[in-house]
Structure formats: C-alpha cells, structure tokens
Amino acid sequence: MKEKIAIIGVGKVGTAVGFLLKGKGYTIASICARHQESLDRAHDLIGGEPFLDVAEASKKGDVVLLTTGDDQIQKVCGEIAAKGGFCQGQKVIHMSGASSLDVLKSAQESGAEILSIHPLQAFATISGAIEQLPGTVFGVTADENVIEWAYNFVEELGGRPIYIQDAQKLIYHAAACVVSNFFVTLMWIGKKMAMHVGMPDEMALDAYWPLVKGTFNNIEENGPVGALTGPIVRGDIETIKGHRKKIGEELRGLLEVYDVLGRHTVEVALEKGTIDSEIAKNLMRQFEKAH
C-alpha cells in the first residue's frame, strides 16, 4: 500500500507534485497553507483534508512534503517539531535546490527520516509544472538508508533522479541559476542592444529567436563545446576589437559583461581546438583591457 502524503505549502510545486502523486495512486491525506484561498484552489485539484495548522497537517502523512518558500523551510519544520507534528518513521522532504538537509534537522531529531528532492526545472504555473515535472532530472540528497526509497519516489513522479552530496548543493543550485536565470538576463541584454540599434521593442527578441533556438538545438545535439560558433571560435581578433570599441563608446555599462563572457568563451574555443594557445592569449588580452 502506498504512503499517505501531507503537503505543507500548496504553491505551484506542491500542488503539481500532489496532482502527479494522486494520479499514481497515493492518498493526499492533508494539505496546508497559510491562506484559505490557496487551500481552496489546491483542494479543487488534489483533494486532501485542508489545514491552516502545519503540525496538524503533518500528523496525517507518512510522507511530509515541505514545499514552502526556501526561506521558510527551517522555520516551518521547527514549528511542526515543536508542536509534535513529526513521528518515528515519517519521511520529511524539502524540494529546495540550495538548502541543505540541515533545515530539516528538527524533523530528524523527532525521529523522522529526512531527504531533499529538487527538480531541475522552472515553473511558471501549476499546469505548466504538472506537464514539465515528468522527464525532469531531480537532484536527490539523502542518507544511504533512504536513498533507494528517494529514487523510487522521484521515479513515481516521472522524474530522473541523480545523487547530489549535501555539501555540494549550493554549487549544484548555482549551476541551475547560471543556465536558467542568467540566460534570461542574457536575453534581456541582447534585447537592450537590439533596441539600441533601432529595432522596435516587439521585434527585438523575435529577430534573434531563430538564432537562439538553433543554438539550443546545437547544444542538445553536440554539447556546448561542439555548438560554439562565432568570432572567438574562429580567432577573429579584429571583430572582437570592433565589438569592444563600439560597446565601450555607446553601451559602456555592458562592456564588462561582454569581456567576462568573452574570456570564458576563449576557454571553450581552446577546448574545441579551433584556436591555439597563442591566439587564445591575444584574445584574452583584448578582454582584459581596462574599461
């Protein structure tokens, strides 16, 4: 018989996970939120006895999912523990990418087994999360005695588990921020530059979108090193000089970003083998010039 699930925090992730688990035959025993409106919305989708009290909700589950905001996990966990909401043999899970298992220490001290499962995915809506979670890689952090259970639980969600050491979670999460959040920032910078040369707002992204999608496809097929194109991979120093001169004159605030990314792109080109060490040094000299 599958475990009963208590979900503390029914935002996008908590509600989506509950929906998928319910579809796999798990009983959603309880749901908990600070506001009645959130409870009502989640209850319509996944059921579960609604609670405003975190400890009472926790008592209903064999598995307790703490899907609150990252900065609330430790506080909520401590509140549940202080009220006697955990018991021996319960499994208590958080889904934060950056937080260590330390934030669940009060649950562990109450006799529960603790673990973390974090989906490497960005969710804008509940419906989007329901669609995107299956097939997503989950970073799993757990003690040896519960790791097999954790892998099976992730697979029930349609996820692909990979083990992440607790001490490495911040680097793991920072990598997610680099490829997701910073990509958004790069698109924002690119749009800003496109508008600077006269492209209207509504076209500034559309004009470059086929290039972006083509790059994504190349990365998927060939990896980042194999996908690299452009002046750096060709060792085209004159083009780089021209870029830096014009950006420095008209968009000076972006020159530092261009140079930082340029230096790392030289490393990629070296790994690809399209430039030699001498060309790499000459390129690096350009990117290391004073702003």
**DSSP letters for 169-184:** HHHHHHHHHHHTHHHH
Residue ending a domain, choose from 139, 165, 191:
165
What are the pLDDT digits (tens) for 246-262?
999 999 999 999 999 99
90-114 confidence digits (pLDDT tens): 999 999 999 999 999 999 999 999 9
One domain for residues 56 and 27: yes
In a domain, 100, yes or no: yes
Q: Is 170 a domain residue? A: no
Are 107 and 213 found together in one domain? no
Q: Which domain holds residue 242?
A: 177-287
CATH number at residue 119: 3.40.50.720
Residues 143 and 201 in one domain: no
Q: Do residues 63 and 3 lie in contact, with contact meaning Cβ atoms separated by under 8 Å?
A: yes
Q: pTM for this one?
A: 0.90
Tokens for 256, please give them.
Answer: 């530092």
For residue 183, the one-letter residue type is: F
Q: 165, 186, 201 — which closes off a domain?
A: 165
Q: Is residue 172 part of a domain?
A: no
- Please give the Cα distance from 153 to 138 (Å, whole number): 11
Domain count, the chain: 2
**Are residues 154 and 186 both part of a single domain?**
no
CA gap 71, 57 in Å, rounded = 20
Same domain? 80 vs 124: yes
pLDDT tens digits, one per residue of 26-81: 999 999 999 999 999 999 999 999 999 999 999 999 999 999 999 999 999 999 99
| Mean pLDDT of all residues in 180-185 | 96
Beta strands in the chain (DSSP E): 4-8, 27-32, 49-51, 63-66, 91-94, 113-119, 137-142, 160-163
pLDDT average, residue stretch 224-243: 98
Q: Is the pLDDT of residue 230 over 80?
A: yes
Per-residue confidence (pLDDT) for residue 289, from 0 to 100: 85
Mean residue pLDDT of the chain comes to: 97
Residues 14 and 79 in one domain: yes
